[in-house]
Amino acid sequence: MKKIEVKTLHPGMVFSAPVYIEGNNLLVPAGIAIRKKDIDHLLSWGYSTVSTEGDPVKENRGAGGPQETSTLGPGIDDLGLSGAMKKKGGHVLSLVEVKENKSAYRSYISLIQRLDAVFSSIEAGVSVEPRTVDNLTGRLLQAIREERDSMIGFILGGEVADHVLAKSSVNTAILSALIAMELKFPHPKVMQVVTGALLHDVGMLRLPKEITGKSGGLSDAEVQRMQAHSLYTYKIITKELLYPEDVGLIALQHHERWDGQGYPRRISGPDIDMGARIVSVADAFEAMVSEKPYRNSMMGYQAMKNLLSDNSRRFDPDVLKAFIKTMGIYPIGSIILLNNGAIARVTEVHGDAPLRPKIRILIDEFGKMFKQDEGELIDLLTEKSLFIARALDPREIAKSRE
């Protein structure tokens, strides 16, 4: 990767490939403008360089670049959205309101709370029976079988403020299960992958809070400590929980890279455990769409674009293809703007047509707002006159009305 001096960056710069902090932490994906506050953060954290494999492709010196302007696009006010949002308080596009199936959401919350209890016991040094985790694995797979689309939607649309590690792990496990199923794994192997995904970051509990919760840049020594979490996880899984080596390897190797530039052992390609390759993709997507101390979350569409630009560097191409086929380019729960000016939420994806999912209208082309389950359902695969113009960030929409 090329090193770019932070002092040469300015708001509005856009690169043709993702820009990273310390080689692994995403600053901005390809095609997204760098904001002034991104640069301010880099300077306050003490970074002198960032890295990218791309080049500057254009600049947007307007109102701070695309990420700091309204994502609604030109002419959207003509639809009466601003007035409607003010009347309704913006609830129709808030993240909480994408929860159509309350029973499924309770199951999702229960999984997070139960896993958090397991993590609390491990952190306190209390013995945990493997069957407790096995039960969680079974519950998660049952929830996916019964409410697959809802469970995917909660990853983007479920607001869970607490239990950060448990939430991240449940989300990663859901995505890992979907990839394993798409790859036609037998059920015992799917169970193994899900178990490894649920526990893949449990070693974080062995790290000091001043490292795991740090909002600024990490020192070289702190980076080494952070990277040791996969070794701690492996020991917890195999020595404390007494799971077999196959489960431990999933966690140990999930930060290895397809090109051999990962950690802890810098192994590459097919030498990386298959379950670890799956969790690697799922974990990367989950990290990008979740809030982190060092950056805000991004939209599902932006995260998918970032994964698609990997070019066999971090991820197994076959695993990535399976993930794209499962999730689509616009993941379930994404808020999108149609070419006729209507705003909708993605409710289902077509594996063979990732750009034409099923959607539910939230605000039609005339500015009429609908409750969460009352808007028209449209299959873009058959409704050829409509297509997605762009993805929208609900939080940015909310900001635009303030």
DSSP assigned state of 53: S
Per-residue burial over 377-388, b = 16 or more CB atoms within 10 Å of its CB, e = otherwise: ebebeeeeebeb
Half-sphere exposure of 196 (CA within 13 A, CB side): 32
- In this prediction, residue 25 carries a pLDDT of 58
Lowest mean pLDDT among 4-18, 72-86, 156-170, 254-268: 72-86
Lowest mean pLDDT among 20-34, 145-159, 241-255, 348-362: 20-34
Name the helix (H) or strand (E) containing 385: none
Q: What is the C-alpha to C-alpha distance for residues 200 and 169, in angstroms, rounded to an integer? A: 7
Q: Where are the alpha helices (DSSP H) in 213-365?
A: 220-227, 229-235, 245-252, 274-288, 300-308, 317-327
pTM for the whole structure = 0.74
- In this prediction, residue 161 carries a pLDDT of 67
Answer for the pair 287, 155: CB distance below 8 angstroms, yes or no: no
pLDDT exceeds cutoff 80 at 292? no
pLDDT exceeds cutoff 50 at 65? no
Question: 213-241: per-residue pLDDT in tens?
Answer: 776 677 788 888 888 899 999 999 999 99
Residue holding tokens 């790859």? 183
Question: 29-60: per-residue pLDDT in tens?
Answer: 777 788 887 787 677 666 788 888 888 886 54
- In this prediction, residue 396 carries a pLDDT of 59
Which of 107-121, 371-385, 387-401 shows the highest mean pLDDT? 107-121
- In this prediction, residue 166 carries a pLDDT of 95
- In this prediction, residue 46 carries a pLDDT of 67
Q: What is the C-alpha to C-alpha distance for residues 60 and 10, in angstroms, rounded to an integer? A: 10
Q: What is the C-alpha to C-alpha distance for residues 372 and 97, in angstroms, rounded to an integer? A: 7
Mean pLDDT of the chain, nearest integer: 82
Q: What is the C-alpha to C-alpha distance for residues 292 and 228, in angstroms, rounded to an integer? A: 19
For 253, the 3-state DSSP assignment is coil
Residue type at 225? R
pLDDT exceeds cutoff 90 at 390? no
* C-alpha dihedral, 217 to 220 to 223 to 225, nearest 10°: -130
- In this prediction, residue 174 carries a pLDDT of 97
Task: Give the rounded percent of residues in the chain with a pLDDT score beyond 90.
Answer: 45
